[in-house]
Amino acid sequence: MEYDKKVVNRLKRIEGQIKGVLNMIEQGKDCREIVTQLSAARSALDRTMGVIVSTNLEQCVRENIEKGESTDHLVQEAVDLLIKSQ
């Protein structure tokens, strides 16, 4: 599967957030500020996982429909992936 440039850009922003958190730790910033930034990074990761799973699901469903195959298991697999990531 090819990933959209938007997904790569999201991950680069998250990488920047994590580097910022490391910087904050090195500067001895308050733990509340650090946890706030970590929470934002985690939220961004969760959203990115959702985008990746939904995009992949859409592509797999289309392929299965073209082949005349069932798609039920694909939806369940996607849900399981998202639940496992929590």
Domain boundaries, the chain: 5-84
Q: For 22-64, what is each residue's pLDDT tens digit?
A: 999 999 999 999 999 999 999 999 999 888 888 888 888 888 8
Give the up-direction half-sphere exposure of residue 44: CA atoms within 13 A in the CB hemisphere.
19
The answer to whether residues 71 and 65 touch, using CB atoms and an 8 Å cutoff, is: yes
Query: Which is nearest to 44 in space by CA: 20, 27, 61?
Result: 20
CATH number of 5-84: 1.20.58.1000
Rounded CA-CA distance 47/53 in Å is 10
Question: pLDDT above 70 covers what percent of the chain?
Answer: 98
- The structure tokens 């392929």 sit at 63
Residue 14 CA, chain-centre distance (Å), reads 10
